[in-house]
A and B are shown apart, each in its own frame.
Chain A
Amino acid sequence: MSEPARFAPWEDPDAKPLIRFRGVTKRFGTFTAIDGIDLDIFESEFFALLGPSGCGKTTLMRILAGFEDPTEGSILLDGNDLAGAPPNKRSTNMMFQSYALFPHLSVFDNIAFGLRRDRLPAGEVRARTEEMMALVKLQDLTDRRPHQISGGQRQRVALARALAKAPRLLLLDEPLGALDKKLRRETQFELMDIQERTGTTFVIVTHDQEEAMTVATRVAVMDHGRIAQVADPTGIYEAPNSTYVADFIGDVNIMKGRATPADGTVSIEWAEGQPALRCATELRLEKGVTAFIAIRPEKVSISSRRPGNSPNAVAGRVLDIAYLGNVSTYHVEIAGGQVIKAQTANTDRVARQEFTWEENVWLYWSETAGIVLER
């Protein structure tokens, strides 16, 4: 794990975190928005807080920015407790979901706003503002008011304004939520590029898992004010620690059954009269406990004949076919009525759609295709 090129300070026990949450809890009346969060975020990370609406991710960000105070616990920035520091005394800046551009100021004045509050000399303000405008490619819009530019341009002004003061930590609240899908994709890569060039630590809040996976070095999946899992995008996708995380990120088939451990594998009895499913795992499960297997659709193969030597093979009937161009997803009903999704890549233009509705097929996958989960 010690390749020099890989950026993974969270694996280094000696690394000092830029931000450290310690038992942070936030209650609004009787409602607990944030429930005892411990979390370290490191310098130059692009950290994503991901979760459905109401999971507390925005509250967590607002606590970082200083708009809310935690009810319990503390937050350290560079080892200093942030408690009681108002937003204007923190070296964090925020890019708002609504962008919050000042409508009475030009693009230039919006970006220069924070610099002027620091009472920098006019020349320095101008130089830094122009540098920021070049960074987000807005040089031609100096005099425009926010209402005179497009949504994508407004998004850039908001980013430039938040970056202008060179914050230790940049907070982005659903920064791309208002953009259409195509522009959002492009902007994601620009965001990563800008993050790399400035070396600023970014914390992004999003409910879009694809966005989080694309931009982030690490993703924290949140659920009801708690952090369900923190890992890099591969870890979140391939090694979720719970069915909640597996289900939240991407598409997944989850099969429930009783476990019988063997050496390095587990057999899961999932239905009467059906052969148990075998799955490699490092978990030590008691015999007979309830366990789940989570398998991504692209790891399930589909065949019209019974596969010869696959450890896991299940017979079923095609219910639905979703043709998406690049891939096709087959919805296959198996014993007990559960529907399993199997995805095939359409690698050839002509040879595709081998199966049709109501056809009896076999689904099969390897021992390492799925992951065994306890909850």
Chain B
Amino acid sequence: MRRFGWFNATSLTLGLAFLYLPVVILVIYSFNASKLVTVWAGFSTKWYGELFRNEAFLDAAWVTLKVAFLSSTLATALGTMAAHVLVRAGRFPGRTLFSGVIYAPLVMPEVITGLSLLLLFIGIGLDRGVLTIVLAHTTFSMCYVSVVVSSRLVTFDRSLEEAALDLGCTPFDAFRLVTLPIIAPAVVSGWLLAFTLSLDDLVIASFTSGPSATTLPIKIFSSVRLGVSPEINALSTILIAIVSIGVIAASLASKRSAIRGQRDRRSAVRVP
């Protein structure tokens, strides 16, 4: 085993500090008793209490989670399909155009994406609300999913799919039973990426949200303009907790399903 030298230890500490120090400070100040954000006045959970009495924040949080869940799921389905077509279908008329169109939102300024979506929704007379934010977020996060999944599919041995077809699978079954389980980690990380992007988005959401639905970033941004309140810290801490729990749960679940799968197979063979 290699020695964990002082250089590695320092790098690790600095790296982690760089990434997480601001977050840690935010979490600590969320338990501050003082109303002034930068002055420590003892431990308290009162801002959490305040927060849970603040209907507007709770509504925004709920809308954000709903939007993130729906849009990342939709984006994962569409992005995976697009990646599969791009990598698998070989050459077809308009392939280059298709891939360009899919990846364009990656480099498109968010303001333009937001504005164009706004114009579209107004044009087709769609009332702005949860649905429009979900559609907007799906549009821009789908290309990220597609990039993640297609980079996995490029290295995927095509003969595995052919073997599945040869053994009696329909093309859909071959995808479901062979391709998808093998590329699942890429699909899951695509979903997580889309989820995070959606949680985080301020610009596109502010174009496509309406009076009936405001997301948390919009809410936070607009209230911070009136001054940072300790409530915001509490809210951010909760968000961090939710995201962390989600990520840990996802990784535990995938590990457990792998173990269970192995056990199932073993018993399937041994039991007479």
Contact = CB atoms under 8 A, between A and B. Distances in A.
Interface of A: 65-67, 86-88, 92-94, 96-98, 100, 102-104, 106, 108-109, 113-114, 117-118, 126, 142-143, 161-162, 165
A210 to B, nearest CB: 26
B165 A87 contact: yes
Interface string B153-186: 0000101101111111110010001100110000
Considering the complex of A and B, which 6 residue pairs feature the smallest CB-CB distances, nearest first?
A114-B167, A117-B168, A100-B163, A100-B159, A87-B165, A104-B181
B167 A117 contact: yes
A113 B265 contact: no
B168 A118 contact: yes
A154 to B, nearest CB: 13
A123 to B, nearest CB: 10
Interface string B225-267: 0000000000000000000000000000000000000100110
A143 B266 contact: yes
Contacts of B107: none
A130 to B, nearest CB: 9
Nearest to A167: B166
A100 B162 contact: yes
Please tell me the size bucket of the interface on B: 20 to 34
Contact of A104 (B166, B167, B182): B182
26 contacts: A86-B165, A87-B162, A87-B165, A88-B166, A88-B167, A92-B166, A93-B166, A94-B162, A94-B163, A94-B166, A96-B163, A97-B159, A98-B157, A98-B159, A100-B163, A102-B182, A104-B181, A108-B269, A114-B168, A117-B167, A117-B169, A126-B269, A143-B262, A143-B265, A143-B266, A143-B269
Nearest to B261: A104
Given A126-B268, A143-B262, A161-B163, 6 more contacts: A66-B166, A97-B159, A102-B164, A102-B182, A106-B265, A117-B168
A118 B164 CA distance: 13
B137 to A, nearest CB: 31
B43 to A, nearest CB: 49
Interface in B55-114: none
Most buried by A among B168, B265, B266: B168
Nearest to B263: A143
Contacts of A92: 166
A20 to B, nearest CB: 21
A101 to B, nearest CB: 8
B159 to A, nearest CB: 4
A87 B166 contact: yes
A362 B176 CA distance: 70
Contact of B170 (A88, A94, A106, A162): A88
A67 B181 CA distance: 23
A117 B173 CA distance: 9
B256 to A, nearest CB: 15
A100 B159 CA distance: 6
Contacts of B262: 106, 143
Nearest to B272: A126
B265 A96 contact: no
A65 B168 contact: no
A155 to B, nearest CB: 14
B177 to A, nearest CB: 8
A126 B268 CA distance: 9
Contacts of B181: 104
B265 A161 contact: no
A65 B159 contact: no
A257 to B, nearest CB: 49
A165 B159 contact: no
Contacts of B173: 117
Nearest to A93: B166
Interface in B27-73: none
B265 A108 contact: yes
Nearest to A161: B167
A294 to B, nearest CB: 39
B160 A67 contact: no
Nearest to A67: B162
Interface in B175-204: 177-178, 181-182
Nearest to B262: A143
Nearest to B160: A100
Nearest to A90: B166
B262 to A, nearest CB: 7
Contact of A113 (B167, B182, B266): B167
A104 B266 CA distance: 14
Contacts of A98: 157, 159
A237 B268 CA distance: 51
A211 to B, nearest CB: 21
A108 B164 CA distance: 15
Nearest to A98: B159
Given A96-B159, A100-B160, A104-B181, A165 B167 contact: yes
Most buried by A among B160, B166, B265: B166
A66 to B, nearest CB: 8
A102 B165 contact: no
